[in-house]
Amino acid sequence: MIVVTGGAGFIGSNLVKALNARGHDEVLVVDDLSDGTKFVNLADCTLGDYLDKEEFLARVKAALNGEASHLPPIEAIFHEGACSDTTEWNGRFMLENNFEYSKVLLNFCQRQGIPFIYASSAAIYGGSEVFFEAPEHEKPLNVYGYSKLLFDQYVRARHDDFISQVVGLRYFNVYGPREQHKGKMASVAYHHHTQISAGQNVKLFGAWEGYEAGMQSRDFVYVGDVVDVNLWFLDHPEASGIFNLGTGSAEPFKAIGETVVDYYGRGRIEYIDFPEELKGRYQSYTRADISRLREAGYDGEFRSVAQGVREYLEWLNGKG
């Protein structure tokens, strides 16, 4: 059985769907469905089983203590479960969810010889202008980014002792199907879709930090491409390490707005003042250096913003 933590969430549910497409119906989804609206992300998926996060964690800890755990044989764990809210400042909560939880699962996988592929984040780079997997470029601007960096450091310190695959994937700006439950943390593409659908204009930040209005740029990566990379590592258990997962290109937010306006044939881009609460805590530019990912052997192509956003809008409108 393959485990997907955070399996009812954005990237997790897309992984479950892709595993089903490969013929993997015995997928154990682990999540916290206190927000029951997330069930829609799994409604068209086939699960082998579902466990609440706390129950799963208790069983894993029991196994680590040599007690009866009642866990099935596990082929691999995709660890997508985390608090990904970059505006959350409760550090105790963030570290419990993103650091302690991950440590327990990593140690379990090493004890059992199970491949462990986990979600890291480009938020680790924060205030850096270089996006390469090296400590000197890691400067998080929020406690979310710090929680991800802390676990990456934990992995690095033990890398030479690992007996099974461990892969950390530093996701850049992921967008695509099954993210509607994320609210304010959903992608700009999703927010533009909802704005146009409500008869509004698409809204982007005005000029800030030397960038013209709408020209703040990031590495936007389609969730389908993110899933492909995850599954590639599942197929290549000999490959381990921490890797950036983006397209390798930076495109302006304006390109997303223009694609959405063009798709719907109505509305326009409207610029708003840059929010005070984000000043000094915002990445105005990101571009993944994916040389390590390529060196590991991954040679898949990545969608451009125009391609990915249009495909996403087709899905949102029931055509994809």
45 is in an annotated binding site: no
10 is in an annotated binding site: yes
Pick the catalytic residue: 101, 118, 144, 171?
144
Pick the catalytic residue: 182, 203, 211, 264?
182
Q: Where are the beta strands (DSSP E) in 133-235?
A: 166-171, 173-175, 202-205, 217-218, 220-222
Query: CA torsion, points 169, 175, 177, 178, in degrees to nearest 10?
Result: 70
173 is in an annotated binding site: yes
147 is in an annotated binding site: no
Taking the alpha carbons of 184, 150, 60, 115 in that order, is the dihedral positive or negative?
Answer: positive
203 is in an annotated binding site: no
Taking the alpha carbons of 263, 266, 268, 272 in that order, is the dihedral positive or negative?
Answer: negative
38 is in an annotated binding site: yes
174 is in an annotated binding site: yes
Q: Which element (helix H / strand E) includes 175?
A: strand 173-175
| 279 has catalytic annotation | no
161 is in an annotated binding site: no
Do 219 and 143 meet the contact criterion of CB atoms below 8 Å apart?
A: no
27 is in an annotated binding site: no
| Residue tagged 């154990």 (tokens) | 28
89 is in an annotated binding site: no
32 is in an annotated binding site: yes
Query: Phi and psi (nearest 5°) for 30?
Result: -120, 130
| 144 has catalytic annotation | yes
CA distance 113 to 162: 9
139 is in an annotated binding site: no
Residue type, 125: Y
232 is in an annotated binding site: no
Q: Which element (helix H / strand E) includes 146?
A: helix 143-158
148 is in an annotated binding site: yes
Helices 253-264 and 305-316, interaxial angle, to 10°? 40
Q: Tokens for 54?
A: 């706390």
Write the burial class of residue 27 (CB in 10 Å: 0-12 exposed, 13-18 middle, 19+ buried): buried
208 is in an annotated binding site: yes
CA distance 111 to 166: 13
Binding residues: 10-11, 31-32, 38, 53, 80-84, 97, 148, 173-174, 182, 184, 191, 205-208, 218, 282
Catalytic residues: 144, 182
Binding residues for NADP(+): 10-11, 31-32, 38, 53, 80-84, 97, 148, 174, 182
Binding residues for substrate: 173, 184, 191, 205-208, 218, 282
